[in-house]
Structure formats: structure tokens, C-alpha cells
Structure 1
């Protein structure tokens, strides 16, 4: 007896839930929990945090170059002196003398005029900003990566459920076809058609089950937690809406202003501009204030057993005259790097506009696609019911019913994919626009069932 559409829906619900290991008492993990776990577990984000910490140290290092430099040096030596000479009587004479010598020097240097240091401090600030923006970029990317892994796992689970529904239908139809053939009312071709579809479904189920394992493992690697049970989309509450604001230009402007990727590249371009100033400062003089206190004992063979104390203070001027063309080469190199940074920023800005456009369309068209596919599912369900009744009346064949069932399952699969694609587009569009990560995840997580 062919399966009634109401039974198909019941089997579908059971099949979708089969991958969730309902016997386990532990609650299902939702998107919020997956993201929170990934922020702690993900090695890429942890590396980005460490990189940001390292980048922040550039500023205190640059500021230290403008502050006084104080150093102390000390030494103590043992000297064994042998002296030979000819005295007034023409005789060779030798004197042996051994003694200790030593020195201690305390030096203070304060840069007064070093144009490169000012540019270096500003450059360090730009590099710190770049490091922080890169960290934000990696953390925003984590939102997208967790979302992709989570919804891929849900989709794989749902596809297994659909195939299990299809397999159950084929088994019932195969049993009915065999009974009908044994009673002399059916045809052998009905059995062969159903068996062929059943074999194909079994092969697809094996492949889909492997994909379930892969997607779960991918999510588990990100979160460090079991992904055996995942909260599904709450279909009664899920009502996709267009993005707000509804103008693409507004989203592109928002992304260009808040995108951490562009912020990092802007800071990189500023650092490259300041590198040009640093290189050009190689042509300029520098001026330092220098103070020194030195104490020495037996500092030469002529002053054995003597002690000296010297104090000096003054200015030290350094005027570069010629360095073999190195400074000019460094300036040209810095200018080329600045041009590269500007063009990289422009390329990223254009690419960002393309990606925002793609995700914006993913939401706007996703609303229409979900509605259209919901209607397609209803139509396919009605067509399946009509074919089943026509088969009972003898007006349709088993092949017609199989094709109607396939169309119904295909429509359900496409609807499931469209829903997840819409949710992922919402997640990614908000990330590209630089929205708060927690709020972004919370908006999408609100569509999921509580407690799995």
C-alpha cells in the first residue's frame, strides 16, 4: 500500500531526528554554544590573539627610542708587562711588572633631533591598529566558519532523514508490489522499478551518512565538543525577512566603514606611508645630548697605580653626507611598498563590495526562494497524493507514484537547503558589515529550537 503524505511527514520528522541520538540525556548544542566553544578552542583565533599581543609591543619599543638611554660598562684586567731597553752604559736591561687595571663608565644619551623616531612612533601606532584589526577580522571569520560548519552539519543530517523517509516508502511499495504480483493483480516491472529506486536510495544513504560524519567532525574540531546533537531550525517560528536596511548601497557603505579587513589594510597603508618618511629621514642630521662619567685605574703602562675620574657633557651632531646610494634606494623601496599597500586596499574594497552584494542577494532572494519552495513542497505533496489515489483506481502506474515521491523529496531537500542558505547569508552579511559578533550569532541562534 503506498504511503500516505501524512505518514511521509511523520517519517520525515523521525528520520531528521534519527541523527540526533535522542536517547542521550544531554541537551543539543545550538549555534551560540558552538561559537562560544570555538572562541576558546579554535587554534587560528588563538594564534591571532597572540599575534595581536606581539603587535601591541611595537609601540612601547618605538617610544623607548625617544627616551634617555643609560648604560654602564665596567672592566678589570690583569697586566703582565715586560720591558727591555739599553741603559746609558750600553747594557740590555729588562723590567718585569705585573699590575691590575680597570675602568667603569656610566653613559647617558638623550635624542634631541631624530626625525626618523617621530615617524617610527606613528608607524608603530598604525601597526598596533593593524594587529587589532586583524584579530577582529579573524574573530569575525570564526563566526562565518562556525556558521558554515553548523548548518552544513544540520543539512547533512536532514538529507539522511529525507533518504530514510524515501527508503521507508520504497520498502513499503516494494512489499505492496510483491503482494500484488503474487495475487496476479500486478506486474513484474512494478517490482523492478521499486527495487531499482530502493537500491539507488541505499547507495545515496551510505554517502550521506559519511557526509554526516565529516560535517560533525569538522564542527567538533572547531568547538572541541561533541556535535552528535544539534539544535534544529524552529520551523514554525522561522519567517525569513529581507535585510534591514533594504538598500545594497547602505550595506556596502556600512561594510566599508566597519569592516575589520579594510581597517587592517588602511592601517597597513598608513604604516607604509610613514615608512617613506623614515627612509627620507636618512638624509637629515641628528642631534643627541650626551653625558658620561668614567673612572679608570692604571689605564696605560705609563700610568700604573694611577686613578682617573672624568666627567663629560655635550652635544653630538651627526650629518650624513654619502652612504653609497643606500638611503635613496630605501626611499624608492618604501614608495613602491606604499603604492602596493594602497592598491591592495583598493582591491580589497572592491572585493568586499562583491561579497556584500552576494550575501545581500542571498538574503533578499532567499526570502523569495524559501516561499517559492514552500509552495513547491505543498504542490508536490498534493501531486503525490493524487498519484497514489490514481494508482489505487488503476489510472496511474507505480512509476508515476515513484516519480511523484522523488519530486516531493527533492522539493523538501531544496527547501531545507534554501533555509540554511538564508541563515548563513544573514550571518555572513552581518559579519562583512562589522556587526557585533555576539549580536550577530544571537540573531541567527534565535531561529533555532531551544534545547534541541
Structure 2
């Protein structure tokens, strides 16, 4: 006898299979008939996004091309370099051509046409103010150059600091999640022990409370990471990859050039770009004093001209003229303005001297602080690396003690917290050392893309 249920089941399976085959054919015919070009484009986009990365040195190089503040300072330097040409032109001969045509008709219908053309050469023979202008403009170019170099260092500090902020936030989130996973495992362990009667409800409640606290910390850390990423993206004017490559193991930095803060201060006083710019501003102030005093000195200039004149009237006439002249100008009385402007320039010179002294003091302080921060940071990293190893041993001991009943759950939770807290502090300390090293190089005028590339390679090798 035929089993009706089996026949129905077979018919149902055949119907489903037919529907499935038709559906597959429809999908292939409608969707997979896309052009090969479109498929390759989609694949290229996918793989390019997945392979996208951004190293520390790449971030700095990108900022050199896109940062508006830095590009503005760069254009200021470009504009300042034209001052040398402008001031130099005032010392060279000036040659001009003049030409005019005049036609006059009177009431007697008599017209007169006059044509004139000539060439004039003017040359300053002695003008101390022009010489001092040339000197001042050359100093202004030097000042603009030092300001530009300082702006480049400032940009490097800004980008590397923002980059390290992202790495610290990344590491904090990674550590928080690792701690969350470890506490979750401990919570499950406490639940099982409570169910079999080998632990109290207190162990479970303590683990649950710790787990809830970590979840709250995770939310805050995720927000911190989002903020730091947005800040770096704003500086670079581009999106960041999903994750930046940070330090994942011990790193070895190049030994410092000097082992004394006084040596670093001495180097900073010599090479710091703020100090160099302040010295230039003092020299400019000295030139301005000389300029005001030179206003009393006579000036001498020469002028050579040659002209041709043609008049077409009742009688045609043509004439030529050639002139050589020396012009001496000597100020006698200008209402006391020269003395007043001289006193003003002297006051500005005194101010420039005081600002130079202030800049030197600030540079001394920054160089000394940065050196001490590097030294202390290296010692802190070494201590935290030892603390991390000790914390791992302590955690394993507490876990073993909990399993055999000589430790309670809170001991394990505290040991976990100590380990993960130490790991967070260690990562932060490593990045703080790099920050301090960059700040130290900035204080002595030696921070460059080359130094950033060295640190970038060190970070890459730690992975």
C-alpha cells in the first residue's frame, strides 16, 4: 500500500528543490550578469579599504600638505622672501621713458602740434636709509624663515600628540575589553561554584558588580576613542583606518645626546627657532634705531635725462636736450619728529631685548623639563614592565588559590584589575616618553620628519 504521507513529503521536497533551482537561476541571470568591470571595481574598493593604513610618519607628511595654519605660514615665508628683491631694487638705477603729444587749435584755425619724448635715469648715490631698509628686509626674511621652521615643528608636535592620543585610547579600549572578558569568565566560574555549593552568593555578586563597572568604563573609553579619532581626522582632513598601529612590545629608543639638562639648555639657547627669531627681532629693532637717526643725514642722488621736442606750427622746430643733475637733500627742521621717532625706536629695542631674555628663560625651562620627562619616563616604563610581570604572576597565584579554597573571588578580581591597570599605565607611559622626546628635540630645534620616521619605524618593529 502506498504511504500517502511519504508521497506528500516527496512532492514537497521536489517542489522546494524546483523553486530553489529557479531562484538560483534568477539570481545568476539578474545579478551576476553585471559587467566584469563593475565587479572588479567593487573588489578593488573593498581590498583598498581593507589594506588602508596610516603610520605616524605618513600622518605627519599628510599634515604638511593639508594643514591650513602651516600652509599659511609657508606662504608668509614665500611672500617675505620677495622683500630682498624689493629693497634691492631701490638701490639700483631707475630708468623711465616719457612721451606726449599735444595738439592746440586757436580761434584763427591755426593748429599747433607738439611731440615730446625722453629718457630719464635716476640713481641714488648715498642714502643711508635705503641701505638700512635693505638690511632690515634681509632680517625680516630670516625671521620669516625661522617662524616657518618653528611652525613646522609645532605641526609635528600637534599631529604626533593627536596620533598618540588615538593610540592610548585604542589601547585603553583593548585593555578594558580584555578585562571585561576575564571578569566575565570569573563571573561564570563563580556562578558554577555557587550552583555546586563550593562558593557563596557573595562571590557571584562581587564579580557581577565588577563586570557592570567595567561595562560603564568601556562605554566611556569608546567615547574617548571616538573623540581622539575625530580630532586627528580634523587635523589630517581625511578619515582614519579602523585601527592605527601602536606599540605592542618593548621598544628601545636611541640614547640621548647629552645626559645633563644644562647641556640641553645650552643647545636650546643656540638652536631653538623661537630664540633665533627673537634675536632677529632684536637686530631689526637696532636697525630701526639707526634708520631714525639716519634721517638727519643728507642724501645724494644723480639724474640723467635726454629729450627730443618737435613743434609743428607756422614754422617747424626741433630741439634736443640733455641734462645731468646732482640732488642733495639735507633735512634742517622737521618739527622734532626725528628725535621723537628715535626715542620710540630705542624703547622698542629695549622691549625686544626683554622679550629675547624671556624667550631664553622659557626655552631653558622647556628643555630642562623635557629632558627630565624623558629620563623619568624611561625609568617609569622600566618599572611598569617589571610590575606587569609581577602582576601576571600574582593573578595566576590568586586564581590557583581560589581554586583550592585559600583565596576568595574578590582576590582574583583585584589581581585582574591590578594587571590590566598596570598594562594601561605601561602603554600610556611609553607614548608619554615619545611625546617628551619630541618635545625635547623641538626645544633644541632638531625636530624634523626624519626623527618622526625613526620613531615610526620603531613602532612598526614592535608589532
TM score, norm. by length of structure 1: 0.84
- 1:337 deviation in Å? 1.8
8 Å CA contact retained: 1:231, 1:451: no
- Say how many residue pairs are matched: 417
Instruction: Please give the per-residue CA displacement for 1:27-53, whole angstroms capped at 9, x wherever unaligned.
Output: 643222222222222222222221111
8 Å CA contact retained: 1:51, 1:131: yes
Which position in structure 2 is the counterpart of 1:449?
460
Is structure 2 residue 241 aligned with structure 1 residue 230?
A: no
Which position in structure 2 is the counterpart of 1:14?
none
8 Å CA contact retained: 1:240, 1:367: no
CA distance in 1, matches of 2:447, 2:247: 22
CA distance in 2, matches of 1:405, 1:225: 38
| Secondary structure of the corresponding residue to residue 97 of structure 2 | strand
Equivalent of 2:288, from 265, 275, 280? Answer: 275
8 Å CA contact retained: 1:426, 1:444: no
Equivalent of 1:63, from 84, 88, 96? Answer: 88
CA distance in 2, matches of 1:278, 1:303: 56
| Secondary structure of the corresponding residue to residue 95 of structure 2 | strand
CA distance in 1, matches of 2:306, 2:453: 65
- 1:261 deviation in Å? 1.9
| Secondary structure of the corresponding residue to residue 246 of structure 2 | coil
Which position in structure 2 is the counterpart of 1:219?
232
Unmatched 5+ stretches in structure 1: 1-21, 83-94
- 1:226 deviation in Å? 4.4
RMSD over equivalenced CA pairs, Å:
2.8
Equivalent of 2:67, from 42, 46, 52? Answer: 42
Is structure 2 residue 347 aligned with structure 1 residue 336?
A: yes
Instruction: Please give the per-residue CA displacement for 1:355-406, whole angstroms capped at 9, x wherever unaligned.
Output: 1111101111112111111122222222222222232233333223222221
Equivalent of 1:367, from 373, 378, 381? Answer: 378
Unmatched 5+ stretches in structure 2: 1-46
| Secondary structure of the corresponding residue to residue 284 of structure 1 | coil
CA distance in 2, matches of 1:233, 1:76: 81
8 Å CA contact retained: 2:245, 2:459: yes
Q: Which has the higher contact order (CA 8 A, sep 6+)?
A: 1
Instruction: Please give the per-residue CA displacement for 1:237-273, whole angstroms capped at 9, x wherever unaligned.
Output: x135752321111111122222222112211211111
- 1:438 deviation in Å? 3.5
Query: Relative to total residues, which structure has the larger helix share, 1 or 2?
Result: 2
CA distance in 2, matches of 1:175, 1:318: 99
- 1:298 deviation in Å? 5.9
8 Å CA contact retained: 2:247, 2:462: no
8 Å CA contact retained: 2:248, 2:462: no
- 1:159 deviation in Å? 0.4
- Which region of structure 1 is more displaced relative to structure 2, 57-66 or 437-446? 437-446
Equivalent of 2:427, from 416, 440, 448? Answer: 416
Equivalent of 1:353, from 364, 387, 400? Answer: 364
8 Å CA contact retained: 1:27, 1:451: no
8 Å CA contact retained: 2:76, 2:144: yes
CA distance in 2, matches of 1:114, 1:303: 48
Instruction: Please give the per-residue CA displacement for 1:92-150, whole angstroms capped at 9, x wherever unaligned.
Output: xxx67654445434321100110111111111211111111111111122222222122
CA distance in 2, matches of 1:175, 1:354: 54
- 1:188 deviation in Å? 3.4
Map 1:184-195 → 2, pairs under 5 A: 184-195=197-208
Is structure 2 residue 137 aligned with structure 1 residue 124?
A: yes
CA distance in 1, matches of 2:326, 2:289: 28
CA distance in 1, matches of 2:51, 2:190: 43
CA distance in 1, matches of 2:48, 2:86: 58
- 1:210 deviation in Å? 2.2
| Secondary structure of the corresponding residue to residue 448 of structure 1 | helix
8 Å CA contact retained: 2:191, 2:204: yes
Instruction: Please give the per-residue CA displacement for 1:168-204, whole angstroms capped at 9, x wherever unaligned.
Output: 1222222233333344444333333323222222222
Is structure 2 residue 390 aligned with structure 1 residue 379?
A: yes
Equivalent of 2:406, from 377, 385, 395? Answer: 395
Equivalent of 2:216, from 200, 203, 206? Answer: 203
